[in-house]
């Protein structure tokens, strides 16, 4: 039974041109992937499979279980993932970033991408995402500490 308190949601939503944020259904929907020219997938789960048509694939091996270790894990992976996401994006590729529901892990990764790509603060990046995908960060941002840690680290790097 679906949660009646969840805001209405799509399987995926475009956050900026060529960056889609979505769930596991979108990642397995061959028509959706082909229709939007998605060539690259960032799978923010430890175990969900990749669609066989995806040749450019990255895994962010993090669980969304609210455990401190997984929140730290997200922060540890953040630099490598954002670097690869920026690289794929700058090469002109259309990208799907997904997790199971497209609410927490993948939304955190896209927020970090926006912070580097646009210079947004974490609050603005998260709000920007929520305006395009209302289910993102619902009810709370499970990886807020990861996002804030990433922001502190990129600010520290900028001041070197």
Considering its fold, how many domains does the chain have in total?
1
The whole-number average pLDDT for the span 69-92 is 96
- 6 in any annotated domain: no
117-155 pLDDT, tens per residue? Answer: 999 999 999 999 999 999 999 999 999 999 999 999 987
- 50 in any annotated domain: yes
Distance CA(78)–CA(132), nearest Å, equals 22
82-118 pLDDT, tens per residue? Answer: 999 999 999 999 999 999 999 999 999 999 999 999 9
- 3 in any annotated domain: no
Beta carbons within 10 angstroms of residue 155's beta carbon: 11
- 4 in any annotated domain: no
Distance CA(145)–CA(59), nearest Å, equals 21
Q: Is the pLDDT of residue 7 over 90?
A: no
Boundaries of domain holding 117: 12-158
- 133 in any annotated domain: yes
- 85 in any annotated domain: yes
Distance CA(106)–CA(123), nearest Å, equals 16
DSSP state for residue 48 in the 8-state scheme: P
148: CATH: 3.90.190.10
The whole-number average pLDDT for the span 69-77 is 94
Distance CA(30)–CA(49), nearest Å, equals 14
Q: Is the pLDDT of residue 14 over 70?
A: yes
The DSSP bridge pattern shows strands 12-16 and 19-22 to be antiparallel
28-64 pLDDT, tens per residue? Answer: 999 999 999 999 999 999 999 999 999 999 999 999 9
- 7 in any annotated domain: no
pTM: 0.93
Q: Is 3 exposed, middle or buried (0-12, 13-18, 19+ CB in 10 A)?
A: exposed
């Amino acid at each position: 039974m679906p949660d009646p308190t969840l805001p209405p949601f799509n399987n995926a939503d475009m956050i900026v041109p060529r960056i889609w944020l979505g769930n596991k259904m979108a990642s397995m929907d061959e028509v959706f992937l082909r229709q939007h020219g998605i060539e690259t997938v960032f799978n923010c789960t430890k175990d969900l499979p990749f669609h066989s048509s995806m040749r450019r694939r990255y895994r962010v091996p993090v669980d969304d279980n609210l455990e401190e270790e997984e929140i730290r894990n997200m922060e540890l992976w953040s630099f490598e993932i954002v670097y690869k996401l920026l690289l794929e994006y700058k090469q002109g590729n259309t990208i799907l970033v997904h997790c199971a529901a497209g609410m927490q892990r993948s939304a955190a990764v896209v927020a970090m991408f926006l912070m580097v790509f646009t210079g947004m603060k974490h609050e603005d990046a998260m709000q920007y995402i929520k305006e395009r995908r209302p289910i993102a960060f619902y009810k709370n941002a499970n990886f807020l500490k990861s996002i804030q840690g990433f922001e502190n680290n990129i600010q520290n790097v900028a001041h070197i």
